[in-house]
Chains A and B, each alone.
Chain A
Amino acid sequence: MRSSLLRILALIRKEFLAVLKDPRSRFIIFLPPILQCLIFGYAASFDLNSVPYAVFDQDHSAASTAFISHLDGSGIFRRQANLDRAEDISTWINGSRVLLVIQIGQDFERHLLAGEPAQVQVIADGRNSNTAGTALGYIRSVVEAFNASWRASHGQASPTVRIVTRSWYNPNLDSRWSMIPSLIGTLTMMGTLMLTAMSVAREREQGTFDQLLVTPFRPFEIMIGKAVPNMIIGLTQSTTILLIAQFWFHIPFAGSFVVLYAGLGLFLLAAVGLGLFVSSIAKTMQQAMLYAFLMVMPFALLSGLNTPFTSMPAFLQSAMVINPLRYALDLTKRVYLEDAGFAQLLSDFLPLTIIGLVTLSGAAWLFRRRLT
């Protein structure tokens, strides 16, 4: 027992030396998560804060001018041009110079003063239909505001029912608040899974794995020796991102660190298990990297990071029962923003434990089979 522990400790030490000895490799383990966290924290948002548009105003009336100034006053819409001819619309849209063109018809003001519905046509560049859809949504809310002020100033009755929205846990609906806690799991998984997958493949390529096999190590000791250092590196990575989230982006941490780290520990167990699983199949580093990549990609895309998990097709939802990142995202986000406790997170802790146990024992089995 004691000698087994000593062997594992020696292997852990050796593993750390192999990874951290090279300054470039130290750099590549810690710098990308930090950079990615900063860049994605700023960039990865479906919110728009600058929508270039052009106006094709055929009315040239006080009402149309008031309407346009409502758009300009929103702070989001930036007018790039006033068009005079209908043919210009396609020039500006096709050339990607504006995202929207707003066309105000000749009798805009006449309709408004007569109390009739006045149409405004909005043309959006649908090359990225997501962005265009969001921008159109913004237009609708600006129009709502314009309508309300028009009704108020022209003595028309305002609608009796008003919807007041309040979002809990993220009062300003800042998408960064949900993005950055999600990065804790996502970036750590990418780093750890690849690191683990390649660590065994590298030994195999360089022939040092055979040397390891002639030592008195037993397969499960090799497994633990490979798993623990990578888990510690993964925990360090997630701590770094956690610190950036709190001290750089100032996202208040509502939960308990004990719950968070318990969850992260289990998650890393599953990630390292997957990495070891990959590396027991792959023969070269290129293969290991490709397998790891093919595993990480769908897990990351289907984890709920970019798109809500509940709106995926049913068969994908059921296929993602095995995705550790999905549980980790739910867990980190809920601990971070909602202060969820162990009892509420049982539905995440349990699957993570199962995935970790299955992948680790699967990898151990494959290891043993390869050894004999």
Chain B
Amino acid sequence: MQGYAQGPVAEWSAARAGADALVSAGPVIVVDRMWFNEGNDSHYFLVPGLIVLVMTIIGAFLTAMVVAREWERGTLEALFVTPMRAGEFLISKLIPYFGLGMIGFVLCLLAGQFLFHVPLRGSLFLLCLASIIYLLVALGIGLLISTLVKSQFLASQLAMTLTFLPAMMLSGFLYDLRSMPVFIQAITYALPARYAVALMQTIYLAGNVGSVVRLNLGVLAAMAVALLVLTRLVTRKQLS
């Protein structure tokens, strides 16, 4: 997927930079410097954003169908009669997809390092922490959708509309958030992907900037806790 995205965008921004170079006759001359990305290499912002996309796909998109499938097939009733509790059920559903998500993360990390040569300026520990927390948020959304909707088709469409497309279009990954109309900006504050993209891009390119990391990590952690607790409550209600 990285391969798909990187090529065209790179060439496109190069073409665009060329078109912008107007013939200048002075007297004021602009000397510009692009911090964090002196060479204007678009891999630098694509790789951190793609980590968020990959996590969203694995976390929310795949997980959205997990519980719904059991509802559809009726295998969930079989689980009800066992002494399993809601929390245990959810954890057993979370762990495999958490593992898959982390494998995806490591693959992205390696690709960023060795294929696209994007420098990691912040700490690896913070990057991992941020991805784990975002993955938990994505898993929470996926499980919540799955538990509420109980139909695989609906769950997949909802996950697509609520998680993947916003993560791509409304997260600041491709399009600048500050230039969006106010009511859309308001929506983006409710989207976890927005915080994740800001975190990843900052940790990757700008380093451990305290103010940015604390704010975004804090919001994501709160979302993760809220979503997982909510899912557990809903599941427990459905079990009884």
Q: How far is the CB of A202 from chain B (nearest CB, A)?
A: 7
**Which residues of chain B (144-199) have a CB below 8 Å from chain A?**
149, 151-154, 156-158, 160-161, 165, 169-170, 172, 174-176, 178-181, 184, 187, 198
A126 touches B38 (CB 8 A): yes
Q: Is the interface of B mostly helix, strand, loop or mixed?
A: helix
Chain A residues near B176 (CB-CB < 8 A): 46, 48, 128, 131, 134
Pick from B1, B178, B206: contact of A50, CB under 8 Å: B178
A161 to B57, CA, bound (A): 53
A-B contact pairs, 16 of them (CB 8 A): A24-B151, A32-B157, A32-B160, A44-B175, A48-B176, A52-B178, A95-B212, A127-B202, A130-B42, A144-B22, A144-B24, A156-B27, A205-B72, A293-B57, A301-B5, A308-B15
With CB as the reference atom, state the residue of chain B lying closest to A148. Answer: B25
A143 to B209, CA, bound (A): 32
Known contacts: A126-B36, A133-B40, A285-B152. The answer to whether A47 contacts B179 by CB under 8 A is: yes
Pick from A118, A286, A302, A311: contact of B65, CB under 8 Å: A286
B12 touches A122 (CB 8 A): no
A96 touches B198 (CB 8 A): yes
Chain B residues near A42 (CB-CB < 8 A): 180-181, 184
Segment at the interface with B among A109-117, A211-219, A224-232, A247-255: A109-117
B17 touches A133 (CB 8 A): yes
Pick from A128, A136, A150, A308: contact of B45, CB under 8 Å: A128
A127-B206, A290-B62 known; 12 other A-B pairs, CB under 8 Å? A39-B184, A43-B181, A48-B179, A119-B30, A121-B32, A126-B35, A143-B29, A163-B23, A194-B156, A202-B153, A311-B8, A316-B8
Known contacts: A94-B209, A136-B32. The answer to whether A129 contacts B179 by CB under 8 A is: no
Chain A residues near B62 (CB-CB < 8 A): 286, 290
Kindly state whether residue A271 has any CB partner on chain B within 8 Å: no
Chain B residues near A308 (CB-CB < 8 A): 8, 12, 15
A24 touches B154 (CB 8 A): yes
Residues of A within 8 A of B (CB): 22, 24-25, 28-29, 32, 35-36, 39-40, 42-52, 67, 93-96, 99, 111-112, 115-134, 136-137, 139-141, 143-144, 146-147, 150-151, 156, 159, 163, 190, 194, 198, 202, 205-206, 284-286, 289-290, 293, 297-298, 301-302, 306-308, 311-313, 316
